[in-house]
Amino acid sequence: MDRTDGHRRAADYLYPPIEPFDRRVIDMGDGHRVYVEQCGNPQGRPVVVVHGGPGGGCSPAMRRFFDPQVYRIVLFDQRGCGRSRPIAAVAANTTWDLVADMEAIRTTLGIDAWVLFGGSWGATLSLVYAITHPGRVDHLILRGVFLMTRAELDWFYGGGAGRFFPEEWRRFAEAIPEAERTDLIAAYHRRLFSGDMAEEVRFGRLWSGWENALASIGAEGAGVEAPPDYARAFARLECHYFQNDGFLAQDGWILANRHRIEHLPATIVQGRYDMICPPASAWALADGWARARLYMVPMAGHALSEPGITAELVRATFALR
């Protein structure tokens, strides 16, 4: 497989489109119904795709990072988003509920252990799951690492990233009265959970627009506005998790517990110019982890669809064949 040459599109590195051989909804017993699908080889090496957000949901393109002759590809929409129901719901929706959902999916599908493939928040959830259930993990493939720390939230919602995108930052921050701007996560949380649907959609679009504007190294500011239902669900779930520090017991919980997974192999793919999840987190995660390999992609940002990111991730899944 050739290295990205700057002219190929991300789709050029992917396997051809495929359809699931199995679709189902698992009732988790507490009001949440989680959508799950399987693609590829039913007897293949199991891999689970852990999407970002929280609230991003899975897309058909995520099936295409794996050789369908080799892998049994499991995708699921986390609570409150995508095809899971109820949409945008935050009751009984914590990191630990999602970890339990992943275990329920694994046991329901009869999988002993699987590869974890997660990016951004999906990397966070993959790491928390692996730390909690290390015996159920074969390998971690992580992209755009987010460790769910206060420093990372302060960078993105406290003005650090805004120094590189001042026009987009103004649009995001100045939607909030000046007196509330010292804590934009809390200020957006009040509006995203106001009970006024029009207000929730408006601020959902502002929240998701700020993130989308910075996702790709080639982005030129805000793009097309997200559909209202998607923007509201995405923003509510992200803000809910960030307002609660990811429901982790302490700041820096993942690195403090990394010793529980250091016997596992990991492949970490990181964009050098990732404005959403800066490379310091990926570096800190890999530093001192003997079985981890960090690949810093020189001309790439955060998005899964960046050509250089896509190429390295497909290379990683190919290497595990």
Catalytic residue positions?
A: 120, 274, 302
Residue-wise burial string across 222-246, b where 16 or more C-beta atoms lie within 10 A, e elsewhere: beeebeeebbbbbbbbbbbbbbebb
Question: Amino acid identity, residue 220?
Answer: E
Structure tokens at 69: 């002759």
Q: How far apart are CA 48 and CA 27, in angstroms?
A: 19
* Phi and psi angles of residue 183, each rounded to the nearest 5 degrees, phi first: -145, 85
**β-pair partners for 39:** 73
Judge residue 195's burial from the number of C-beta atoms within 10 Å of its C-beta, 0-12 exposed, 13-18 middle, 19 or more buried.
Answer: exposed
**What stretch of H or E contains 254?**
helix 253-256
121: how many CB neighbours lie within 10 A of its CB?
Answer: 27
Collapsing DSSP states into helix, strand and coil, what is residue 287? coil
Task: Tell me which DSSP letter residue 19 carries.
Answer: -
Q: How far apart are CA 49 and CA 305, in angstroms?
A: 15
DSSP notation for 134-168: GGGEEEEEEES-----HHHHHHHHSSTGGGT-HHH
For residue 166, whether the previous peptide bond is cis, meaning omega lies within 30 degrees of 0, is: no
Among 232, 251, 249, 250, smallest CA distance to 240 is for: 232
Tokens of 182: 């010292």
